[in-house]
Amino acid sequence: MRGQVLAVKVISKAKMTTAISIEDVRREVKILKALSGHSNLVKFYDACEDALNVYIIMELCEGGELLDRILSRGGRYTEDDAKVIIKQILSVVAFCHLQGVVHRDLKPENFLFSTRDEHSPMKLIDFGLSDFIRPDERLNDIVGSAYYVAPEVLHRSYSTEADMWSVGVITYILLCGSRPFWARTESGIFRSVLRADPNFDDSPWASISPEAKDFVKRLLNKDYRKRMTAAQALSHPWLRDECCPVPLDILVFKLVKAHLRSTPFKRAALKALSRAITEDELIYARAQYNLLQPSSQDGRICIENFRMALLQNSTDAMKESRTLDILSAV
């Protein structure tokens, strides 16, 4: 690091007055230290403290916030430019979710550009509200920024799907320049999130492709069970031509676990339903199948394939979140 200019996040100990606030800082450092190896993730170097402050030392991103670039473009992006942004967001979010980390504060202000260059890569920052989460775990504390918070967060029962709602809000803003849920007060915003539907009728939505609108709608689905995962979103038709590699999805492991615990009748019903799979679903399923490295002889996938797929993508965060525990049920 000698001669390198770095960024330092300074957290005053005067504000760390409760056990919860102290634990929040410890968890942020632990997450930053445990997560590594993704090009769209801010690089963590070290953390230290003195009598007054805690210091988190990270790479310096000099290109400014995504929010500033949106504003500099008159409030919105073209579809092609928005795809470049969303692909990077989904890639790093998929990485975090596979490792068992939910960010809980995805918004344009928390994506920084490395440089001022027009084509600079983005970095996800600020894990102050993030947490480790097991594949079968639900969180219940209401955190995040009001405009980007998911309905299930307000109902105090949520998981990684809440981050995908936030990605949907960001995409909506990029494409049309306005927020999908708005009010003058925080309580009003929350009511809008719970009850209102995004507007796709006014300008400029008439000139936006059906694929882009479908992409946003599938992320802003109030039923989190029907919302796309980050890996599924990367295989959506709107992004399919962008040569997006589809990453391993923890959802596959959840589905296999549920299948093994299901009754013979339910398994038969699911087998029948699989014949009605759509082309989009097939593309996603084929990508996940190939990531599990099936046998070259008969195309089968065994338990060891699942284990190796997770271990090959594992960071220390995956161990902290106990994501690997899901293998005990596979």
Instruction: Give the Cα separation of 282 and 163 in Å (integer).
Output: 24
Instruction: Give the Cα separation of 303 and 295 in Å (integer).
Output: 12
> What is the 8-class DSSP label of residue 233?
H
Of the candidates 194, 202, 239, 242, the one whose C-alpha atom is nearest the C-alpha of residue 220 is: 194
**Displacement of CA 249 from its chain's centroid (Å):** 12
Q: In the structure, what pLDDT confidence band is assigned to residue 263 with cuts at 50, 70 and 90?
A: low
For 101, phi then psi, to 5°, come to: -120, 125
Domain ranges of the chain: 6-59, 66-232, 250-329
Q: How many helices (H) and strands (E) does the chain have?
A: 14, 7
Q: Does domain 6-59 have CATH number 3.30.200.20?
A: yes
Q: What is the pLDDT of residues 94-110, one digit of tens each?
A: 999 999 999 999 999 99
Sign of CA dihedral 258, 151, 108, 173: positive
Tell me the CATH number for domain 66-232: 1.10.510.10
**pLDDT score for 325:** 80
- At 79, the amino acid letter reads E
**pLDDT score for 242:** 59
Q: Is 323's pLDDT higher than 60?
A: yes
Of the candidates 104, 110, 62, the one whose C-alpha atom is nearest the C-alpha of residue 88 is: 110
Greatest extent of the chain over all pairs of C-alpha atoms, in Å: 65
Q: What is the pLDDT of residues 199-239, one digit of tens each?
A: 999 999 999 999 999 999 999 999 999 999 999 999 999 99
Q: What is the pLDDT of residues 176-205, one digit of tens each?
A: 999 999 999 999 999 999 999 999 999 999
Q: In the structure, what pLDDT confidence band is assigned to residue 292 with cuts at 50, 70 and 90?
A: confident
Q: Cβ of 120: how many Cβ atoms within 10 Å? A: 16
Instruction: Give the Cα separation of 212 and 44 in Å (integer).
Output: 34
Place of tokens 């769209």: 40
Q: Which helix (H) or strand (E) holds 54?
A: strand 53-59
**pLDDT score for 303:** 79
Record the pTM.
Answer: 0.90
Catalytic residue list: 105
- Give the side-chain half-sphere CA count within 13 A for 79: 16
